[in-house]
Amino acid sequence: MLAYHRRPAGVKLLPMTMPAIADIRRLRPAATVAEKMIKVDHAGENGAVNIYRAQRLVARIRAPSLLSQ
């Protein structure tokens, strides 16, 4: 069974950014192998950043003493 915890007072959620619609419309498939590699690398970096963001959020709620202010 999962235990759900309330967010402690004073803990703020980090803002999540969404790409603008205009940015999404400009996306196109990669044409060269180099472009494909860069897109994959960029996607991996974005994924890692969001994983770290989520870890900090959970740490703020579950173990605030572990974070530096």
Domain segments of the chain as ranges: 28-66
As a whole number, mean pLDDT of residues 35-53 equals 89
0.75 exceeded by pTM: no
Is the pLDDT score of 15 beyond 80?
no
pLDDT for residue 1: 43
Which has the closest alpha carbon to 57: 6, 14, 15, 25? 14
Type of residue numbered 25? R
As a whole number, mean pLDDT of residues 10-38 equals 72
pLDDT for residue 7: 63
pLDDT for residue 48: 92
Radius of gyration over every alpha carbon of the chain, rounded to an integer in angstroms = 18
If you average pLDDT over each of 10-24, 39-53, 54-68, which comes out highest?
A: 39-53
- For residues 36 and 40, what is the distance between their CA atoms, to the nearest angstrom? 6
- For residues 19 and 40, what is the distance between their CA atoms, to the nearest angstrom? 17
